[in-house]
Structure 1
Amino acid sequence: MSKTSFPYDGPAARRLPWYARSEPGTWTCEPPPADVRDFHVGLPGYAPTALTELPTLARDFGVGRVFVKDESARLGLPAFKALGASWAIHRVLARRPAGGGPVRLVTATDGNHGRAVARTARLFGQRAQVFVPRGVHPAAVTAIEDEGADVVLVPGPYDEAVRRAADAAAGGPDTVLVQDTAWPGYERIPGWIVEGYSTLFAETDEQLRASGVEAPGLVVVPAGVGSLAQAAVAHYRGRGAGSAPTALMTVEPDTAACVLAGLVRGEPVSVPTGSTTMAGLNCGTVSTLAWPYLRHGLDAAVAVTDAESADAARELAAAGVSSGPCGAASSAGARAALTGDGAAVRRKALGIGPTSTVVLLSTEGADANPHAEEGAR
């Protein structure tokens, strides 16, 4: 069972797109593989990213503690995507016959995933071809090219770039699609990408325990096609019975809220996408691999505007956390859900009170998305 509500933040405010599960979730799943973290630890430049406590946000949100998992410097890149790309490419190459020639790794991207694939391909001595949809800032395209990738510009939305990449990767055994969304018949490599993200949550567990927190009350995850949210569900719902409950909430642009729309309908749906500064979240179709996890494992979903994301990015910057529009979406979503008119109902649905701990995933630094400055204007 699920429910949706659209409470007003004020008489002249927009409606808040909101979903909440009507009953406590009891769904569980298999946890991610235990050897992913060991692989990442062995990569050049690996270090856990910072988990920063922000008391000001805790006061604003009316909770006990707020922590931000800061992915602005991950394996030499300004976003978390290197975790999934590196693990998936490692698994791809491990399955190839010894002594084989180089592989062309193909993907589509709104920016960070493509750069991560290109960087990992170069690290492992492979080639990369990256399809980029319209709307991606030229500086982001240049950053991918600087990693040595062959970039193909697509005069269409993200979903069209994914189709073009899939077609290009069908050219032979030495070409492999490394895409972070799944569809029927293409799920193994997206599954490896999701497994790679598990390192982020393993680090967070350790860092929270060092701060005296056994488990957070709420984790807020930016959602594009849903792969990172799937990793969050696999981590927090893969612990089995008896673990402390953690509510999981996704955040999307209000112009591309495919996860929220699917949860409202109870089935995956594709939505038209517009222009948003949250470019990495500008996705109209949820991953088929992620959907069962999101449908059964999420507790809530919310959609925010570019202006709300820009405000959140400025607040985080003032607190010393570098966050681009996609990363700041988690803070914007938490503020929208936990404050304002109707907040009491939303907080009850999430099980959040004045002593709760909230973790915000800031998935990219301000330098990862050139739109960040534009969104702040």
Structure 2
Amino acid sequence: MTENSSLPPSPTPAPTWFTQPGGRSRAWRCTPAPAEVREFHALLPEYAPTPLTELPSLAGEWGVGRVFVKDESSRLGLPAFKALGASWAVHRLLAERAAYGRDSGPVTLVTATDGNHGRAVARTARLLGQRARVFVPQGVHPRAAEAIAAEGAGVTHVTGSYDEAVRLAAEASAAPGAVLVQDTAWPGYERIPAWIVEGYSTLCVEIDEQLAAADIHEGPDLVAVPVGVGSLAQAVVTHYRSRPAGRSPALLAVEPEAAACVLESLRIGEAVSVRTGETAMAGLNCGTPSSIAWPHLKNGLDAAVAITEADSSRAGARLAALGISSGPCGAAAPAGAGSVLTGPGADERRTALGLGPASVVVLLSTEGTAAS
């Protein structure tokens, strides 16, 4: 027996989190996504709703009524949800070019990525007979870059952050026949990112249908969503804050501690950039909120929490034990929800989110393990 073996374990620290005061987010309303987005996706050859899996063991541990995981480990033939946004945006882009007589030849779809978005753009380009060029920042796993190249895209490796890769992709898109298809927006570049956000709405519509099939007709009480630049979170906010009536869930953003730009922006009250560090949650390693996402996040999110690498790793292992393939970014949602609902200060956090023993929690697992 070692000298310190009888010491009690170190207490679990309270998570880094921010909650909006007064619950005003649930009274805020916005315009819904177009209904034709789901109709478009339903016509794609590989389309099928991804599973919404109930996990009673997590519900018991967290002291809530029911917990569901939206499993995006296989979406339109890819191991992440990003194909929803890329396919819709490119469809809109090519339709517009055809309407204005600018479809004389193939275009080059240019983007920057931490992995999943770039592969989705590359796959969409290949299926539609277009070209793709993808800028990959430092820290992305080599297998992710190889998967993008396997789709036929040109891959440019960037010695720098995601934000630097975005800057270089935007510069490259000025070449003749090139179009930027980026899932973050800034002033002057907002239309295509808005289409990408619209594409993600299909995921939320599926959740409504699947909860109704589980005899939950008023929707969830809490939705936990991983956040990078905030595009998926914008889609989630849009879906739940565009409803005229009915139960309005608490919406929780989850970020890595190494790149908690939305949490910091909420804390300050305006969109800010943060210096990012290294994280296995590569798709969330973003330092600046999207300009079109920020107003929705500021007004429609209830709270944000930052998680550690260990939090994500433990959550991924737990999901795997429960039969769900979830990469580091996908595991962020259960890691964040678990840190909020349990541990020191949990009662105060649950009260702030309006959660009780009968609450329904939905976790968005945005990627499978093959996405890493």
**Interval of TM-score (by shorter of Structure 1 and Structure 2):** over 0.9
Q: Which residues in structure 2 correspond to 1:207-356 (within 5 Å)?
A: 207-214=210-217, 215-240=219-244, 242-356=245-359
Q: Report the TM-score, using the length of structure 1 for normalisation.
A: 0.94
Q: Give the TM-score normalised by the residue count of structure 2.
A: 0.95
Distance in 1 between residues matched to 2:30 and 2:97, nearest whole Å: 29
Aligned residue for 2:149, secondary structure, equals: helix
Residue in 1 that maps onto 2:5 = none
User: What is the CA–CA distance in structure 1 between the aligned matches of 2:11 and 2:70, rounded to whole Å?
Assistant: 34
- Please name the residue that 2:37 is paired with: 36
Matched, 1:157 2:161: yes
Q: Match of 1:362, as an amino acid?
A: S
Contact 2:14 2:345 in 1 (8 A): no
- The CA deviation at 1:367 is 1.1
For 1:238, the aligned partner's letter is S
Q: Counterparts in 2 of 1:50-69, with a 5 A limit? A: 50-69=51-70
Unaligned residue ranges in structure 2 (runs of 5+): 1-8
SS at match of 2:19: strand
Size of the aligned set, in residue pairs, is 358
For the residue of structure 1 that corresponds to 2:351, the secondary structure is helix
Identity fraction in percent: 66
What is the CA–CA distance in structure 2 between the aligned matches of 1:75 and 1:281, rounded to whole Å? Answer: 21
Q: Is residue 120 of structure 1 aligned with residue 129 of structure 2?
A: no
Corresponding letter in the other structure for 1:130: V
Residue 161 of structure 1 deviates from its aligned partner by 0.1
Asked if the contact 2:14–2:343 (Cα under 8 Å) also holds between the matched residues in 1, the reply is no
Aligned-partner Cα distance in 1 for 2:68–2:14: 27
Q: Give 1:44 shift.
A: 1.5
3-state SS in 1 of match to 2:134: strand
Amino acid in structure 2 at the alignment position of 1:292:
P
Work out the CA distance in 1 between the residues paired with 2:104 and 2:326. Answer: 41
1:117-196 maps to which residues of 2 (within 5 A)? 117-172=121-176, 174-196=177-199
Counterpart in 2 of 1:96? 97
1:23 has 2:26 as partner: no
Letter in 2 for 1:91: R
The 5 A counterparts of 1:349-368 are: 349-368=352-371
Counterpart among 107, 115, 121 of residue 111 in structure 2: 107
The AA in structure 2 aligned to 1:148 is G
Distance 1:11 1:130 in 2: 44
Distance in 1 of aligned mates of 2:87 and 2:205: 17
Match of residue 201 from structure 2: 198
Q: Per-residue deviation at 1:70?
A: 0.1
- Kindly provide the amino acid, as one letter, of the partner of residue 166 in structure 2: V
Match of 1:4 in 2: none
3-state SS of 2:86 partner: helix
SS at match of 1:303: strand
Letter in 2 for 1:16: P
How far apart are 1:12 and its partner, in Å? 4.8
Q: Does 1:75 align with 2:91?
A: no
Distance in 2 separating the partners of 1:234 and 1:356: 21
CA distance in structure 2 between the partners assigned to 1:88 and 1:358 by the alignment: 30
Secondary structure of residue in 2 paired with 1:69: strand
SS at match of 2:50: coil
Give 1:13 deviation, angstroms.
4.2
Counterpart CA distance in 1 for 2:11 and 2:258 is 20
User: Matched residues in 1 for 2:14 and 2:363: separation?
Assistant: 23
How far apart, CA to CA, are the structure 2 residues paired with 1:182 and 1:143? 25
RMSD over aligned Cα atoms = 1.0
